[in-house]
């Protein structure tokens, strides 16, 4: 059985009838859209989606920082500030 990762659920039929009402009822949370009682999609309010994208961006940025901090001294290139 597949887990439903939302406190709110709706059928595809309910989604077709009134998607804005589903978002209103769920407030700022996602709604799992079920097809034969199996989640087939999630309806996510725009504010929540933006927060999720910020978290994902921060995660990838942290990965890049972590990778760049693992350098070797011999990999460094010495430059003169006046040459820039």
Residues 5-53: tens digit of each pLDDT: 999 999 999 999 999 999 999 999 999 999 999 999 999 999 999 999 9
Domains, the chain, with CATH or none: 8-69 (3.40.1620)
* Beta carbons of 66 and 59 less than 8 angstroms apart: no
Helix, strand or coil for residue 6? coil
Global pTM? 0.74
* Beta carbons of 42 and 21 less than 8 angstroms apart: no
How many other CB atoms are there within 10 angstroms of residue 43's CB atom? 17
């Amino acid at each position: 059985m597949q887990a439903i990762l939302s406190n709110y659920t709706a059928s595809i039929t309910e989604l077709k009838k009134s998607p804005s009402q589903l978002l209103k009822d769920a407030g700022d949370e996602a709604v799992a859209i079920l097809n034969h009682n199996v989640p087939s999609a999630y309806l996510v309010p725009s504010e929540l989606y933006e927060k999720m994208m910020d978290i994902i961006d921060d995660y990838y940025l942290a990965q890049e920082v972590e990778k760049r901090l693992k350098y070797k001294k011999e990999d460094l290139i010495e430059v003169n500030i006046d040459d820039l």
